Amino acid sequence: MIINHKGLGQTIIFLAGKASVRTKILGMIIPLVVFLGLWNAVQIQGMAREMAEQQLTKQGISIAGEMASRSADLIFTNDRFALHQLVNDTVKYNEDVRYVFILDGLGNVVANSFGNGLPEGLQFANMVNNEEHHKLLTINTEEGLIYDVAMPIFGGKAGTVRVGMTEKAILSIADTSITKVLLATGIVGLVGIMAAIFLTFVLTTPIKEMVAAAREIEKGNYKERVPLWWGRDELHELGMAFNKMAGSLERGYEARTGLIKKLINAQEEERKRIARELHDETSQSLTSLMIGLKTLEHSQEPAEIKQKVAELRQLTNKTLEEIHDLSLALRPSVLDDLGLVPAINRYLQDCKRNFNMDIDFHAQGMEGVRLPSEVEISIYRVVQEALTNVAKHAKATAVSVILERQGEAVTAIVEDNGVGFDLDSIWKSPVKEKRLGLHGMQERVQLTGGHLTIESSPEIGTTIYAQWRINTDIW
């Protein structure tokens, strides 16, 4: 069977990607807790075994030393009974001692704890030189490991004592340690898993609430907000930012809805005005022209015909001017024919006459430059709306209009010395009509890729900055 490791890895990544955040966190924490617990248990078991081995070795050396000291005189006096008694007492009162036997100077066994003969090969398994203090040998038997300690008696002149220490105590200590460690690991792991579950609940619940709120906002419920119950951490800041964003969306939606309504009403009003002007002005002029032509048709006197032609010519010129003014109000033809700067300049000249204001206009870096048509009309309408607001509300005596290009940036600035206003109160005003004009400019600028900034304070005046970044390839 061939395993496609690449396909398996992609499957794991795909499944992990589909899993929830809670599952991912638990999937990381639980294996980590189990791994650390098992690793800790293995390390502690190894340390416990190593410490027990060292302790067992020291104990074996100590017992062998004591046996060598006490058996020297007994060997020299050939007191076999006392030697056997010493060997048996040593095994009896030391549970870690598996066996003890004593060899004389010739290597013969003079006393042992086995009762009968020694197991085959044990007598010469661990030979120690007279110059050595002791010698340790590990022997693998059916009963497990035996730590065999050989120690010379009276410098090797009286013989050798051999002590075998069993590893049962080591295994018992290690088993007890690993049991306790596994129990502690289980408890710690359970606490860790419970803490992980609580942590994932704390982390994912706000996210789920924000997802639910985002879906409600997507459906058009812009009043939806997330509760801020999870403390004062980053999630709290995220929730505050989410609610602030939802509030901005709600205000923008309301402003856009109001703006659309205003635009529709404005369109209808404009149509009414055009229809009224066509009826009251142009239609009457054309009717008068038609009556004059009919009168001229029946005229016989050259002087009367000449006078009537002059009147009709004057009436025709008046009608043409009315139609020109009407078309100019709808869209200035000079904007399409000559460009943005001449169109703004002509509009400002009209404002000077109509509003009786001192208007200063400067254009820098715009020589021979044509912007995208949507940007040009947007700049023109922003200046037009700003001047209209100044005329209606600002009570200004002087206005400065600046249009400049620096690199890719095109900026339009309208500044007046009027009474100004409190910008925050306007944005927060429940009366939508108060902010529709500002929102209208803002929406128009944003829809054409620009950014609008309004600065105003009571009794100081108002400054409007509108900026666009245009690709330099169009210049």
Q: Give the residue with greater pLDDT, 298 vs 55.
A: 55
Task: Return d(Cα 403, Cα 424) in angstroms, integer.
Answer: 27
Is there a domain that residue 374 lies in?
A: yes
- Mean pLDDT over residues 248-266, rounded? 73
Q: How far apart are CA 202 and CA 469, in angstroms?
A: 44
Q: Is residue 309 part of a domain?
A: no
Q: Ranked by mean pLDDT, which of 101-105, 169-173, 237-241, 410-414 comes out on top?
A: 410-414
What CATH number is given to the structural domain containing 385?
3.30.565.10
Instruction: Provide the pLDDT for residue 49.
Output: 76
Residue 356 in contact with residue 387, Cβ under 8 Å?
Answer: no
Predicted confidence band at 467 (pLDDT cuts at 50, 70, 90)? very high
Given a contact cutoff of 8 angstroms between Cβ atoms, the answer to whether 376 and 439 are in contact is no
The domain containing residue 169 runs over which residues?
A: 22-175
Question: What pLDDT score does 47 carry?
Answer: 79
Q: How far is CA 42 from CA 153, 170, 184, 363, in A?
A: 41, 15, 13, 81
Element (H or E) spanning 153, and its range?
strand 144-153
Q: Which residue type is seen at 275? A: A
Instruction: Give the pLDDT score at 413.
Output: 94
Read off the pLDDT of each residue in 420-449 and give the average, rounded to a whole number.
Answer: 71
Q: Is residue 28 part of a domain?
A: yes
Measured CA to CA, the distance from residue 244 to residue 267 in angstroms comes to 34
Q: What's the CA gap between 460 and 429, in Å, rounded?
A: 21
Contacts of residue 328, Cβ cutoff 8 Å, sequence gap at least 6? none
pLDDT value at position 399? 93
User: Is the confidence at residue 123, as pLDDT, over 50?
Assistant: yes
Domain final position from 153, 175, 197: 175
Specify the higher pLDDT residue, 164 or 280: 164
The Cα 419–Cα 421 span in angstroms is 7
Confidence at residue 421, expressed as pLDDT on a 0 to 100 scale: 82
pLDDT in tens, 331-368: 667 777 788 898 899 889 888 888 888 899 999 988 87
Mean model confidence pLDDT for the chain: 80
* Residue 334 burial (10 A CB sphere; 0-12, 13-18, 19+): middle
Q: What is the pLDDT of residues 374-418, one digit of tens each?
A: 888 889 989 988 888 888 888 888 999 999 998 889 999 999 998
Single-letter residue type at 170? I
- pLDDT, mean of residues 268-280: 68
292 in a domain, yes or no? no
Side-chain-side CA neighbours of 33 within 13 Å: the count stands at 20
57 has a pLDDT exceeding 80 = yes
pLDDT confidence of residue 229: 67
- The CATH number of residue 132's host domain is 3.30.450.20
**In a domain? residue 164:** yes
Residue 10 is assigned to a structural domain of this protein: no
222-226 average pLDDT score: 84
Answer yes or no: is 228 within a domain.
Answer: no
The tally of domains found in the chain comes to 2
Q: Which of 146, 175, 204 is the last residue of a domain?
A: 175
Taking only the tens place, the pLDDT of each residue in 280-315 is: 666 777 777 777 777 777 777 777 777 777 877 887
| pLDDT bucket at 100, cuts 50 / 70 / 90 | very high
Pairing of strands 97-103, 398-406: unpaired
- Say if 148 falls within a structural domain: yes
Domain end among 175, 207, 234: 175
- In order of 185, 202, 203, 241, the CA distances from 198 in angstroms are 19, 6, 9, 24
Is 0.85 topped by the overall pTM? no
144: region left, alpha or beta (phi > 0 left; psi from -120 to 50 alpha): left
Query: Does 318 have pLDDT greater than 90?
Result: no
Q: Which of 212-221, 332-341, 450-459 has the lowest mean pLDDT?
A: 332-341
Q: Which of 12-16, 121-125, 188-192, 413-417 has the highest mean pLDDT?
A: 413-417
Within a 10 A sphere around the Cβ of 467, how many other Cβ atoms?
15
For residue 451, give the 3-state DSSP assignment.
Answer: strand
Please give the pLDDT value at position 1: 44
